[in-house]
Structure 1
Amino acid sequence: MSRSGAFCPKCGDEFEPPEDRPALPGPKRDSERVLCDACYFEEFDLVDAPETIEVRVCSQCGAVHKGNRWVDVGADDYTDIAVEQVSEALGVHVDAEAVDWQVAPEQLDRNNIRMHTEFSGVVRGTPVHEQVSVPVRISRQTCKRCGKIAGGSFASVVQVRADGRDPTDEEVERAKTIAQEYIAEREATGDRNAFITETNEIDDGLNMKISTNQMGHGIAKRITAQLGGGYSDSKRLITEDEDGQKLYRMTYAVRLPRYRQGEIIDPEDGDGPVLVTSVQGNLKGVQLATGEKYEAQFEEGEAPDARRLGFREDGQPTTLVAVEDENAVQVLDPETFESVTVPRPAYLDTDADEVPVFKSHAGLHVLPAAESDDE
């Protein structure tokens, strides 16, 4: 008679079964079928590993395909991604306890990595150890986003123009930078629908093709917030989706202000030239004859009729000869070097030996110091 009353159902040998434990719901584990240790470990695998693992990588932007979507990882070296996917693919036997493991990647070439893994644990009170090597292949493809860009896909157009003039090179470059920064911010939130398909500089401004209508609207809004002016929108029906929903392509027409900050204009209202200090909302500036603040009375986004005279950088330093009275001073004309009486604006420093002046058809005027423009 058996001392334990247990026989292995596979080999028939008598053995001492594991300690009794409560029955668990669900499928029985191997140890619950009570095989002897020899038979149990004969077919025991501590680790279940796939024959190979494929990591799908976008060859254009470097995104990695995970689950059913592409994810931006911002990496050139995909070893960490390979380690992560191998970790998710490996299965450890349910009977194993106190499991520990480590991995050593071996870069075979640009597209192939061999993952050498080593596992240890305890099964039926017996320490077990297993080594597994898993080949990982980096498969370079094109993600959906880069496919759209390559195919010229876009939903909106942002047009940058200026009122009554052509945008300057600086304004065009700034508009492009604003758009790029906006898209980068959206990308940083994980929005893979954010991209600029095409940017074209033309004689009278800039055209940008943007991925979505929402992105186009956001860019137009930000450009006018930073550069001034306003924008309008229009839509054109391009197709219908499979559910019969109409799809529109939006055009956002940005109109930069007629005048630029730092420009000198003459509203021809009898008060003389004005140095423009702000183009946000109503045009604001300072009157060169008196130093008083100027604000145009017009609807937001419009500009007053005025004669363009030049820019503050056209000013020249000259000698302050004398202060005549509270309304006038004498300076040297920078072209004729003759002493000329000019208006005395409130911002003039009467103790200065030299002052900047601007000469135009409206006469000679003292300019404010740069730091006092917005005071």
Structure 2
Amino acid sequence: MSDSESREFCPRCGDPVPARAEPLPGVPRDRDARLCDACYFEDYDMVDAPDRIEVLVCSGCGAVHRGNRWVDVDARDYTDVAVDEVSEALGVHVNARDVTWAVDPEQVDENTIRMHCHFTGVVRETPLEESVVVPVKISRGTCDRCGRIAGGYYASTVQVRATDRTPTPEERSRAVEIAESHVAGKEGDGDREAFVTEVMETEDGPDVKLSTNRLGEEVSRRITRELGGSVESYPTLVTEDGDGNEVYRVTYAVRLPKFTPGDVIDPGDDEGPVLVRNVSGNLKGVRLTSGEPYEEPFEDETAGRRLATRDDAVETTVVTVEDDHAVQVLDPETYEAKTVPRPDFFDPDAETTPVVKTRAGLHILPD
């Protein structure tokens, strides 16, 4: 068979083209494979690009609307958003290999970015270059999450209160901090349903409104885990959803313990006052008469009474150490020498020591 008989000819221009390998069984034949390079590249587009891209961005949080949902994007500005959207929209021909591309954004106005995209690749062993320009229009709206926040939507309320007292300023601020930190962690994990709707300060303690019932439960448990106390929930039926399911709004009543760290209390066991050190879980402290550790569960919140706080302590002079169980100190009010119990935490070499005077008597406090 002669060379002329073994050659194929371009069906468009009639020029001879090199014979090409047959496709593998089951792989459809590319009808353009019989074209010569000149005819093939006449209609060849290495890049398929849209004429225009519109991007809807939430003006509140910067989320981008993709498909039928809002997506948080890690972008410094709208130019980064435009680059991401163009990257998703561009298509490269399947026959191109070793493709590289670069983009040069041009800010036309506040809402329009013109993306100059330059591509290089290899097709039929021929290096090619192609450039396209894609205008990106930025429009602004409000995502579902920001709409709910603006509308004051909430599903649960965490009420922080305390037994026989009002929460301290430190407890108030820490409870709110725990709630906001927990929600921020959920947001960081991509939970767009998590947000704090409102924090209300009342005379009895803060009320924190949250977006879901689950958040309310989690936040209330975290508060009591750190600050102590208990939680009770009170659901209220508010409506039904589209499927007929009942929708409840839940109030989580956090009840902080009767005592706080730093309180000097009489636990009612006739063994002397206790300095409270921790109220998470059980009531923990130190016995001021002996220095022994004290721990009891909160079985009866009405038991015991507060005698003073650590802030009531004053520094006084140590007169003499009498023995292993007693020491003389000056009464800070009368300046008389008084013999008081010597707890284990007392330093016998100290010249002064903090004391607190209550209806139970005069007692030394730990430094």
**TM-score, normalised on structure 1?**
0.89
Q: CA deviation at 1:233?
A: 0.8
Corresponding residue of 1:290: 290
The answer (yes or no) to whether the contact 2:100–2:120 under 8 Å persists in 1 is yes
2:123 & 2:74 partners in 1: Cα distance? Answer: 41
**1:271-286 → structure 2 map (5 Å cutoff):** 271-286=271-286
Does 2:334 match 1:336? Answer: yes
Does 2:183 match 1:175? Answer: no
2:252 & 2:36 partners in 1: Cα distance? Answer: 77
Q: Where do 5+ consecutive residues of structure 2 fail to align?
A: none
1:104 & 1:214 partners in 2: Cα distance? Answer: 45
Corresponding residue of 1:360: 358
Change (3 A) 1:248 1:26: farther
Q: CA deviation at 1:232?
A: 0.6
1:96 & 1:270 partners in 2: Cα distance? Answer: 89
Change (3 A) 1:86 1:75: closer
Q: CA deviation at 1:312?
A: 1.0
**1:67-216 → structure 2 map (5 Å cutoff):** 67-216=67-216
1:283 & 1:117 partners in 2: Cα distance? Answer: 67
Name the amino acid aligned to 1:177. Answer: E
What secondary structure sits across from 2:261 in the alignment? coil
User: Cα RMSD over matched residues?
Assistant: 2.3
Q: CA deviation at 1:231?
A: 0.4
The answer (yes or no) to whether the contact 1:64–1:71 under 8 Å persists in 2 is yes
Q: CA deviation at 1:109?
A: 3.9
Name the amino acid aligned to 1:273. Answer: P
The answer (yes or no) to whether the contact 1:29–1:94 under 8 Å persists in 2 is no
The answer (yes or no) to whether the contact 2:8–2:19 under 8 Å persists in 1 is no
Name the amino acid aligned to 1:31. Answer: D
Aligned length: 364
Range 106-115 or range 199-208, more displaced: 106-115
Corresponding residue of 2:310: 312
Range 99-108 or range 233-242, more displaced: 99-108
Change (3 A) 1:306 1:22: same
Q: CA deviation at 1:210?
A: 1.1
1:159 & 1:260 partners in 2: Cα distance? Answer: 18
**1:40-59 → structure 2 map (5 Å cutoff):** 40-59=40-59
1:129 & 1:276 partners in 2: Cα distance? Answer: 77
The answer (yes or no) to whether the contact 1:298–1:304 under 8 Å persists in 2 is no
Name the amino acid aligned to 1:344. Answer: R
Q: CA deviation at 1:298?
A: 4.7
1:104 & 1:19 partners in 2: Cα distance? Answer: 41
1:93 & 1:298 partners in 2: Cα distance? Answer: 72
1:120 & 1:75 partners in 2: Cα distance? Answer: 27
Change (3 A) 1:240 1:18: farther
What secondary structure sits across from 1:129 in the alignment? strand
The answer (yes or no) to whether the contact 1:8–1:14 under 8 Å persists in 2 is yes
1:28 & 1:115 partners in 2: Cα distance? Answer: 36
**TM-score, normalised on structure 2?**
0.91
1:101 & 1:72 partners in 2: Cα distance? Answer: 26
1:297 & 1:120 partners in 2: Cα distance? Answer: 73
Identical columns (%): 57
The answer (yes or no) to whether the contact 1:6–1:14 under 8 Å persists in 2 is no
The answer (yes or no) to whether the contact 1:29–1:95 under 8 Å persists in 2 is no
Q: CA deviation at 1:8?
A: 4.2
Q: CA deviation at 1:252?
A: 0.8
Q: CA deviation at 1:27?
A: 6.4
Name the amino acid aligned to 2:184. Answer: A
Corresponding residue of 2:231: 231
- What are the superposed Cα offsets for residues 238-265 of structure 1, whole Å, 9 maximum, x if unpaired? 1112222111111111000011011011
Change (3 A) 1:122 1:286: closer
Name the amino acid aligned to 2:343. Answer: P
Name the amino acid aligned to 1:362. Answer: A
What secondary structure sits across from 2:17 in the alignment? coil
- What are the superposed Cα offsets for residues 192-211 of structure 1, whole Å, 9 maximum, x if unpaired? 11111111010101111111
Name the amino acid aligned to 1:329. Answer: V
Range 206-215 or range 339-348, more displaced: 339-348
Q: CA deviation at 1:190?
A: 1.4
2:167 & 2:307 partners in 1: Cα distance? Answer: 18
